[in-house]
Chains A and B, each alone.
Chain A
Amino acid sequence: MKIKAIFLKPYAKYIWIILMLVAWEVTAKLAPVSPLAFPSLELILAALIDSVINGDILMQMAFSLGLILIGLGIGVVLAFLMSFLSVVSPVFASFTDTCVSIFHPLPGIALLPLIILWIGTGSMAILFVIVHSVLWPMILNMTAGFKAIPEVYKKIGMNYEFNTLQSIIRIFVPASLSFLIAGLKISWARGWRAAISAEMIFGASGGIGGIGWYIFNKRVFMDTAGVYAGILMIIAVGIFVEDVVFGKLEKNTIKKWGVA
């Protein structure tokens, strides 16, 4: 019973991770596997520490995260503009709906050949892919959130003589925050995947490349431990953003308000 209780705790995730690492190490040490394909944890850790000390992996990660942040920012602003216009005008709303149904299912990577034709390879192209990955799920969630606003809130906004923009900023946005956070989570996850994939394809030509390029490069030089180090960094950042950034955000807003 005690063991079961441990796995119901929020930190259960980390117990599983430790178990997986142990299994990994046992396999690497005892099974007849090539260290080139299946390096032991010491090798991976050494590669990671080495890369952290010479600053390479951190710089690449910072570069990727910076791109994502800018892309998220642009995507959220564009999504807000389109959602706002959709609230104001039903005609624009139908245009937005059409755009979402066309572009939402389209992976940014599929657009990459075209993007390379339009703006070449480099950071701008990666940014374009990120914005594309962020924009559509964000619009989908924002408009759904605005549609779910209780009728009384709209009436209260009218009663206080707010114009549409004031109503949206002061009432609609906080009232639909659970939708907006959900949208942000999806957008982040999509943007992150898209960015790493795009970096793997042409990171080198635009500045320092990013974490995707880092992994690709390590593979080219047959530094398998380095590849795993890069993957570990990606997982760590993913868990950090999910648990710490979004976790905190939710705890201080929608969970506190009892609307989650």
Chain B
Amino acid sequence: MKNVDVNPIIEICAVNKSYEGRPVLADINLAIRPGELICVIGASGCGKSTLLNLIGGFVKADRGEIRLNGRLVEKPCRQCIMVFQEFDQLFTWQTVRHNIEFPLKNAPERLSHQEIRSRADHYLAMVKLTDFGDYYPNQLSGGMKQRTALARALALSPQLLLMDEPFGSLDAQTKKELQETLLEIRQETRATTVFVTHDIREALYLADRIVVLKAGAVAAVIKNQTRNTDETRVAEITALLSP
């Protein structure tokens, strides 16, 4: 099944993780190819956030290893940016535009003022917030905050985007709009994305492949070329998730 002519961007080999003696993830193996959008799905407490934190280098595996472009992941890095569920991930003291410019201003490679501005403009437009650049986060709706967070992550052109239930706290309508925006962005940037969710329909709508986690192990990896979100597909995955 492995696509031999494309090297995986992420390789997860026999990864184990436990907290205080309680195993959270057991023997996880997964390869993610460049440009893929992977959804990791599972009940709460199944270890999906832990998996994302392991890939991002925020926590260390007990055993096994994770490689990003062949290099061992040991700590968080700018090539691999995380978008969180929390609305307060935005910097309250900066406007939307300055939030997006923040990682660029503090980049090790010195970017010119104009370069930073034009990149911010570009990503503001991409998340449809062009008119809201001068707003402070406390003036924004939840959906707009998450759009800003997405733009801030994209501004660094990371090789890998990690998304930890970013739309989990949004109402259904806003969620739908953000999902569409995410798919449009993907068309444009081809950013490799690992997206954690517990919403089966969301996974079916977004993912190229769906990784089903159950009790800390990969229960199934499902190809999802059709992006078909009808009830039979939902039932299929629900069956995989139920004990």
Contact = CB atoms under 8 A, between A and B. Distances in A.
Interface of A: 150, 152-153, 155-156, 158-162, 166, 170-171, 174-175, 177, 253, 256-259
Contact of B78 (A153, A159, A175, A258): A159
A155 B58 contact: yes
Given A171-B91, A257-B93, 8 more contacts: A150-B89, A152-B86, A159-B81, A166-B106, A170-B102, A177-B93, A253-B93, A258-B138
Given A171-B91, A175-B91, A257-B92, A155 B82 contact: yes
B88 A152 contact: yes
7 contacts: A150-B86, A150-B88, A166-B106, A171-B91, A257-B136, A257-B137, A258-B136
A10 to B, nearest CB: 22
Contacts of B108: 161
Nearest to B87: A152
B56 interface: yes
Interface string B101-123: 01100101000000000000000
B42 to A, nearest CB: 21
A155 B84 contact: yes
B88 to A, nearest CB: 5
Contacts of B56: 159
Contacts of B138: 257-259
Nearest to B56: A159
Nearest to A253: B93
A160 B93 CA distance: 18
B77 interface: yes
Interface in B58-80: 58, 75-78, 80
In the A-B complex, the 8 residue pairs with the closest CB atoms: A258-B138, A158-B76, A174-B93, A152-B89, A159-B76, A257-B92, A259-B92, A152-B84
B169 interface: no
B93 A170 contact: no
A162 B106 contact: yes
B189 interface: no
Nearest to B152: A156
A152 B138 CA distance: 17
Contact of B58 (A158, A161, A253): A158
Contacts of A175: 91-93
Contacts of B88: 150, 152
Contacts of A153: 89, 91
A169 to B, nearest CB: 10
A159 B84 CA distance: 12
B137 to A, nearest CB: 8
- Interface-centre pick from B77, B82, B92, B106 (highest chain A CB count, 10 A): B92
B228 interface: no
B92 A258 contact: yes
A160 B91 contact: no
Nearest to A151: B86
Contacts of A253: 93
